[in-house]
Amino acid sequence: MTDTVAQPAVADAKAAPDTMAWDSGLRRLMMIYLPLGCFVLILLFPFYWMAITSFKPNAELMNYKEHNPFWISSPTLAHIKHLLFDTAYPRWLWTTMMVAIGSTTLSLIASTLAAYAIERLRFRGSPYVGLGIYMAYLVPPSILFIPLATVVVQFGLFDSPLALILVYPTFLVPFCTWLLIGYFKSIPYELEECALVDGATRLQILRRITLPLAVPGLISAGIFSFTLSWNEFIYALAFIQSGANKTVPVAILTELVTGDVYQWGALMAGSLLGSLPVAIFYSLFVDYYVSSLTGAVKE
Amino acid sequence: MSVTTLSSPAFVHRQQSWLVRLFDYKPFLIVMCLAPAIGLLGVFLTYPLGLGIWLAFTDTTIGRKGVYVGLENFQYLLTDSLWWNAVFYSVVYTGIATFGKFALGFWLALLLNNHFPFKSLLRAIILLPWIVPTVLSALAFWWIYDPQFSIISYLLVDVLHWRSTNIDFLGSPWPARFSLIAANIWRGIPFVAISLLAGLQTISPSLYEAAMLDGASAWQRFRYITFPMMMPILAIVMTFSIIFTFTDFQLVYAITRGGPGNSTHLLATLAFQRGIAGGELGEGAAIAVSMIPFLVFATLFSYFGLARRKWQQGESND
């Protein structure tokens, strides 16, 4: 190693003690920062493109010769205004929000109780019940939506957001139960034994001891469920017909895509607004997302 | 709760009402706790799964109760070139997209496993494609793939001058197929990278130190430490990825709806087109059921991946 290359390596080693000694600055730049930069650029570009399209006037959207497509010369709120005042977009947002909150609440209640029964009440066959619920996670919605559509019709729930609230737990409950079993496992059983000795009932133990300790797990499961229900598409597409009851992802695709000339500005504005709630939610709870994602995989 | 009827606080269990005692009776409590989850899954998952398999053997259409027709639906599918087309594309789509996601995702995970400033911020940003509703990012891709105003074409033609004409991303079969695969890889990288990063962080640094003392090269350390240690988590993540890529619906439905000329139909979009849009519930169900053998295969793959973990870490480790 020459001195010129060794110099940055020393500085680097100071910044991060774990860095391997022979990692020189230039090598680090080429092997780590350059590829990372490319990854970030490619992963984020569609969002940049979505955002910039939402604020571009139509004249700029369709004219790359005179306007640099990567920038906006005269930003406009016309697309967002069109979306909010000329379409049922606020209504769709509201429906989506209600469906996501409803199904998240339902699945949280169901999976907390189930996880508690499987992990803490321990009965013969409880591991098998846990495994059964886990297997339910492996059944993809794509093979269920046709028979589910007939079930929904039988129940008289076709075209009602209530159908979605009841159906979404099929993929939320397995995930949440699995996540919460992991969290309950990490709570010392001795705490519950103490409470039992003191004469608390099992439900009191669940409410006053186990649940407060499992709050991080509940938050993880909750935000995850919210995101998954917000993003769900195929059930919402198959079970909802009237324009007013549609969720945002379905409505944008079926109500805003009209004719042969696509309103790209409005479409991208709709996508941006539809992504914002989950993105904001996500930015508030990043650590929970990462821990639930990795926790569920490691389990 | 019936606390109001009690003369003393509920903690004094001798005076609890019969309701409280019932809820403290363990078998009853187990049934009550499992009832909501099992009930929901039973009614909206297990029953439809069985019903779907039954529907596949009937000629049900929307509005008409079908009769049992045996294997007729499946026999028809075997002669249907569109179904074969969808099977072919589903396999190609899953194969290439899974390979791409894991190659790039693993690389990204290895990159993220280094020390650098703003690491957690970067990790947060990278998960964005996975958080945002797929259909909405698919719409962005649709716009990026626009025949006239594609930004990629603009880059290649007007900025870099590598091509003289715009790329027709979605107008002909093979470009459309690969465009969809690229969008799927884009969406799948974050999940794979973050999951694998969690796995990487569990590998003890002492293994690398020992290997380095023995003079192992970077490639050898990857090949003989990182890769084998990542095998179990790789197997699980890959199973999930394969299952959900094979049964993917949103991306294709949003970007091409199976076109051009039905060349980009996956089994799920074909099932939707026949079953819901076309009203042939029986046939649609048969197409959906034909995905099951592939999924069983993927699950077995996961099982053996898990079994391998036990073998690696010793019997007692669970």
> CA-to-CA distance for A172 and A111, rounded, in angstroms?
9
Which of B3, B62, B135 is the best substitution to test chain A (most A C-beta atoms within 10 A)? B135
**Pick the residue with more confidence: B248 or A9?**
B248
Q: What's the pLDDT tens digit per position in A210-244?
A: 888 888 889 889 988 999 999 899 999 999 988 88
**pLDDT higher than threshold 90 for residue B249:** yes
Predicted pLDDT of residue A261: 66
Tell me the three state secondary structure of residue B58: strand
DSSP state at residue A243 = G
Q: Which of A46, A147, A293 sits opposite B55 (nearest CB)?
A: A147
Q: Where do runs of H (alpha helix) occur along chain A?
A: 3-15, 25-28, 34-54, 58-61, 78-81, 89-116, 126-137, 145-154, 161-167, 169-185, 189-197, 202-205, 211-213, 215-231, 234-239, 248-251, 264-284, 286-298
Predicted pLDDT of residue B289: 93
Strand blocks (E) in chain B = none
Residue A107 token pair: 């699945």
Predicted pLDDT of residue B15: 54
Do residues B225 and B288 make contact, with C-beta atoms less than 8 angstroms apart?
no
Q: Which of B55, B133, B205 sits opposite A249 (nearest CB)?
A: B133
Residues of B in contact with A147 (CB under 8 A): 48-49, 51-52, 55, 285
ipTM field: 0.84
**pLDDT higher than threshold 60 for residue A10:** no
Predicted pLDDT of residue B90: 93
Q: What's the pLDDT tens digit per position in B159-213?
A: 888 888 888 888 888 999 999 999 999 999 999 998 898 888 888 889 999 999 9
Nearest to B264 by CA among B256, B272, B275, B273: B256
Predicted pLDDT of residue B5: 47
> CA-to-CA distance for B37 and A110, rounded, in angstroms?
5
Do residues A115 and A180 make contact, with C-beta atoms less than 8 angstroms apart?
yes
Do residues B126 and A289 make contact, with C-beta atoms less than 8 angstroms apart?
no
Lowest-confidence pick of A162-171, A283-292, B78-87, B227-236: A283-292
Please give the average per-residue pLDDT across B266-286, as a whole number.
Answer: 91
Residues of B in contact with A113 (CB under 8 A): 32-34, 36-37
Contact B247 A146 (CB under 8 A): no
> CA-to-CA distance for A232 and B134, rounded, in angstroms?
9
Lowest-confidence pick of A171-175, B2-6, B71-75: B2-6
> CA-to-CA distance for A126 and A124, rounded, in angstroms?
6
Predicted pLDDT of residue A299: 44
**pLDDT higher than threshold 90 for residue B99:** yes
Please give the average per-residue pLDDT across B245-270, as a whole number.
Answer: 90
Contact A18 B124 (CB under 8 A): no
The domain B71-308 having CATH identifier 1.10.579.10: the answer here is no
In Å, how far is B133's CA from the nearest CA of chain A?
A: 4
Residues of A in contact with B151 (CB under 8 A): 49, 69-70
Contact B237 A297 (CB under 8 A): yes
In Å, how far is A44's CA from the nearest CA of chain B?
A: 8
Contact B44 A237 (CB under 8 A): no
Interface of A with B in 70-129 (CB under 8 A): 70, 106-107, 109-111, 113-114, 116-118, 121, 123, 129
**pLDDT higher than threshold 70 for residue B309:** no
Strand blocks (E) in B135-215 = none
Predicted pLDDT of residue A27: 78
Q: What's the pLDDT tens digit per position in A159-190?
A: 899 999 999 999 999 989 988 988 888 888 88
Contact A143 B194 (CB under 8 A): no
Read off the pLDDT band of B3 (50, 70, 90).
Answer: very low
Predicted pLDDT of residue A260: 64
In Å, how far is A207's CA from the nearest CA of chain B?
A: 13
For chain B, counts of helices (H) and of strands (E): 17, 0
In Å, how far is A187's CA from the nearest CA of chain B?
A: 18
Interface of A with B in 203-232 (CB under 8 A): 203-204, 227, 230-231
Q: What's the pLDDT tens digit per position in B24-42?
A: 788 888 888 889 999 999 9
Contact B111 A148 (CB under 8 A): no
**pLDDT higher than threshold 90 for residue B306:** no
In Å, how far is B174's CA from the nearest CA of chain A?
A: 22
Contact A268 B139 (CB under 8 A): yes
Predicted pLDDT of residue B182: 95
Strand blocks (E) in B21-149 = none
Backbone angles phi, psi at B58, to 5 degrees: -125, 170
**pLDDT higher than threshold 70 for residue B59:** yes
Residues of A in contact with B32 (CB under 8 A): 113
Residue A232 token pair: 């769900």
In Å, how far is B184's CA from the nearest CA of chain A?
A: 12
Predicted pLDDT of residue B315: 41
Predicted pLDDT of residue A210: 86
Please give the average per-residue pLDDT across B95-113, as a whole number.
Answer: 93
What residue ranges define each of the domains in chain A, with the CATH number in brackets?
80-296 (1.10.3720.10)
**What is the average pLDDT score of chain B?**
85
Those residues whose C-beta lies under 8 Å from the C-beta of residue A54, and which sit 6 or more positions away, are A79, A80, A265, A268, A269, A272
Predicted pLDDT of residue A13: 41
Cα–Cα distances (Å) from A45 to A36, A76, B51, B100, B120, in that order, read 14, 21, 43, 18, 20
Q: Which residue has 């028809």 as its token pair? A: B76
**Pick the residue with more confidence: A11 or B168?**
B168
Q: What's the pLDDT tens digit per position in A76-117?
A: 888 888 888 888 889 999 999 999 999 999 999 999 999 999
The radius of gyration computed from the CA coordinates of chain B, to the nearest angstrom, equals: 26
Interface of A with B in 280-299 (CB under 8 A): 282-283, 286, 289-290, 293-294, 297-298
**pLDDT higher than threshold 50 for residue B76:** yes
Q: What's the pLDDT tens digit per position in A55-77?
A: 988 888 777 777 778 888 888 88
Read off the pLDDT band of A31 (50, 70, 90).
Answer: confident
